[in-house]
Structure 1
């Protein structure tokens, strides 16, 4: 556990309860504080209660674009658009994938956006989060 990680809060938003549980355990073991939400509405409530340092967001939850719609809302909110976001998807990864998703946002994203393909193991997720947060 690093002292730096101990001061960082990660919000996991995914409708897959097992994914959230496994990754919450791994992140907490690495010293992060973890908030969990199982849809975008819960995620928004969590963000308003405590602004996280990074959000891990599934693209497809109850609908195929719930995560994208939620990310667009974050991007359009000047108080929240500075939060780095990891967009997770199980869609086939192509070189155009990030460009395609970037084109869905009206404004350039001021914070880091990282695209990760599911399934992703917990150790890699912790490493990617640590890298983006400069830990």
Structure 2
């Protein structure tokens, strides 16, 4: 059905595999990155249609930094981003920037509800 390519950016290989399973079941092509630097390389090399980005990776706000770099690039700022994290349940919750200041199109909390995730992906790729 779907032919879009989705970049999953997360440093947890188990989470990446769960996300890959959910997305490929809907027909999406999936590429991955384990940190912010890899994510930026993949965006340039593979030109995905959407990014699912964990906010906390090698540094507390690694995903936030990636979203800011994309927002600052005129050719990349239009890439839809679904931010995902369990940050609300961590001691780092107070470090998370206010949503209106974060360059993202949707937010999903871990653990991810597959139907909610697919609904948001489908909406952003229309």
Normalised-by-shorter TM-score class: 0.7 to 0.9
* 2-structure distance, mates of 1:121, 1:15: 19
Q: 1:73 aligns with which of 69, 72, 75?
A: 69
Unaligned runs of 5+ in 2: 90-95
Unaligned runs of 5+ in 1: none
State the SS of the aligned residue for 1:34: strand
* 2-structure distance, mates of 1:91, 1:40: 17
CA contact 2:56–2:87 (8 Å) conserved in 1: no
Q: 1:49 aligns with which of 45, 50, 57?
A: 45
- Counterparts in 2 of 1:1-135, with a 5 A limit? 2=1, 5-6=2-3, 8-92=4-88, 100-103=98-101, 113-134=105-126
* 1-structure distance, mates of 2:41, 2:101: 27
RMSD: 1.9
The ranges of structure 1 where at least 4 consecutive aligned residues each deviate by more than 6 angstroms after the TM superposition are none
Task: Give me the TM-score of the superposition, normalised by structure 2.
Answer: 0.86
**Displacement after TM superposition at 1:99 (Å):** 7.7
* 2-structure distance, mates of 1:126, 1:50: 21
CA contact 1:22–1:122 (8 Å) conserved in 2: no
Task: Give me the TM-score of the superposition, normalised by structure 1.
Answer: 0.80
State the SS of the aligned residue for 1:120: coil
